[in-house]
Amino acid sequence: MTHVFHRNPQHTLKRAVRGQGISLFDQDGRAYLDASGGAAVSCLGHGHPDVIAAIKAQLDEVAYAHSSFFTTQACEDLADFLAGEAPGDLDHVYFVSGGSEAVEAALKLARQYFVERGETERSQFIARRQSYHGNTLGALAIGGNAWRRQPFLPLLAPAHHVSPCYAYRDQLPGETEEQYAARLADELERKILEIGAERVAAFVAETVVGATAGALPPVRTYLRRIREVCDRHGVLLILDEVMSGMGRTGHLYACAEDGVAPDILAIAKGLGAGYQPIGAMLASRRVYDTIVNGSGFFQHGHTYMGHATACAAALAVQRVIRRDALLDNVLARGEQLRTRLRAVFADHPNVGDVRGRGLFVGVEFVRDRADKSVLDPALKTHARLKRQAMENGLMVYPMGGTVDGVHGDHVLLAPPFICTAADIDEIVARLDRTVRQVLPA
Ligand code: PMP
């Protein structure tokens, strides 16, 4: 018996004893290729000497200093770096300890922004159906994962939902990407008007959907159309790049590729690459100035915000990514990964879609690729794929279950940015074997 109270206690988890490069090793010495970076976290792989050295150096100086008394050099340098690279005028960085905390901070900042402006009626949030923004009550309230929300519904603030941008399933025959994006923007606008624009605080979306759809990028003009609708109605745009940000798509900020800057942005996961728990919320100049020139400060905070050791780790991670030009590798290896997956699964009736950006790649499984019908949820195909992959020494992140009545079986691949062409070939070979074991064609 173990006293560790983590989810899925019925599953016997392996014990990780060592990590090196793109592999983790269990207590029996078996190696696992970390093709999902955990949950799109470990973007530098494991045991990176530069990050470890930076953490040790920070511990020798000061491990932690409470943010109401001090900042640290690492915290300031990391904020400068993130703001300097950010799209638009996302100039102000608020450090927290993970993704849910970043989203909570974003929701509260949006609300306080309107309170400071005297628009106190603006309290409503619109998000999308197939979405995940975290497990804390605010983030869960806006998320669209029915299974995660269900037991807690009486505790969740009401939120509104519109369609995600899901071209594989929802783009109509004969409809161009531009028309599809315009249709989704119209739907958002109708929802704003239905609620009453004067009551809507923000629209929240993942730039590239992660945990509910296995890396689902929007069509090219979607974010621009959405931005226009928000601007027309004085609604803030909050983008959640907890999974898709920090280089995962081949761009430090995923939305920059679409030429869009939100008013508030949430990041985490790849920011500290798993070496330390850290997330952040970036706020635009307009939002920040409204708070500072109003009541003077954001009414929020956590004990570990701006944690010195976490900031030092994240700064080292970002410096390595830049020094080693790893985003170029993300683009090249991502292209290779999608091309190879499409090739090996070209004949497989249950592989419906291979998609993504950079090294953020989703594979969607279906009963029949001709009509895109879903697999029987009772089969729990995503969970079986994960288990079988582990048997084959491969870590993939599974997603499934009921999401707003739509069942989907997906696998997310998010290998470390340091992976080589040979690593990608090995990942594809092991996934190919896994899929044919679980779903013999
Ligand atoms: N937003 C998104 C898009 C996520 O993918 C996640 C985590 N999967 C979160 C928020 C929550 O982050 P955390 O688990 O670090 O609280």
Residue 32 clears pLDDT 90, i.e. is over it? yes
The CATH class that applies to domain 16-47+325-438 reads alpha beta
| Confidence at residue 42, expressed as pLDDT on a 0 to 100 scale | 98
3 confidence band (pLDDT: 50, 70, 90)? confident
Give mean pLDDT, residues 417-432: 98
Question: Could you give the angle at the alpha carbon of 41 between the alpha carbons of 40 and 43, nearest 5°?
Answer: 95
Residue 97 clears pLDDT 70, i.e. is over it? yes
CATH 3.40.640.10 spans which residues of the chain? Answer: 53-323
| Confidence at residue 402, expressed as pLDDT on a 0 to 100 scale | 67
| Confidence at residue 301, expressed as pLDDT on a 0 to 100 scale | 95
Q: Which residues pair with 265 in a beta bridge?
A: 239, 282
**CATH fold for domain 53-323:** Aspartate Aminotransferase; domain 2 (3.40.640)
How far is it, in rounded angstroms, from Cα 433 to Cα 336? 18
**Are 72 and 308 spatial neighbours (Cβ–Cβ below 8 Å)?**
yes
CATH 3.90.1150.10 spans which residues of the chain? Answer: 16-47+325-438
Whether ligand 1 lies within 6 angstroms of the CB of 171 is answered as: no
Whether ligand 1 lies within 6 angstroms of the CB of 243 is answered as: yes
b/e sequence 275-310, b meaning 16+ C-beta within 10 Å: bbbbbbbbbbeebbebbeeeeeebeeebebbbbbbb
Residues sharing a CB contact under 8 Å with residue 363, sequence separation 6 or more, in sequence order: 214, 341, 345, 351, 353, 354, 410, 411, 413, 431
Average pLDDT of the chain?
95
- pLDDT digits 0-9 by tens, 152-204: 999 999 999 999 999 999 999 999 999 999 999 999 999 999 999 999 999 99
How close is the Cα of 133 to the center of ligand 1, in Å?
6
131 confidence band (pLDDT: 50, 70, 90)? very high
Whether ligand 1 lies within 6 angstroms of the CB of 134 is answered as: yes
How far is it, in rounded angstroms, from Cα 390 to Cα 381? 14
How far is it, in rounded angstroms, from Cα 14 to Cα 17? 9
Work out the widest C-alpha separation in the chain, in whole angstroms.
63
The ipTM of this complex is 0.99
Residue 8 clears pLDDT 70, i.e. is over it? no
Other beta carbons within 10 angstroms of residue 343's beta carbon come to 12
How close is the Cα of 99 to the center of ligand 1, in Å?
4
Other beta carbons within 10 angstroms of residue 70's beta carbon come to 12
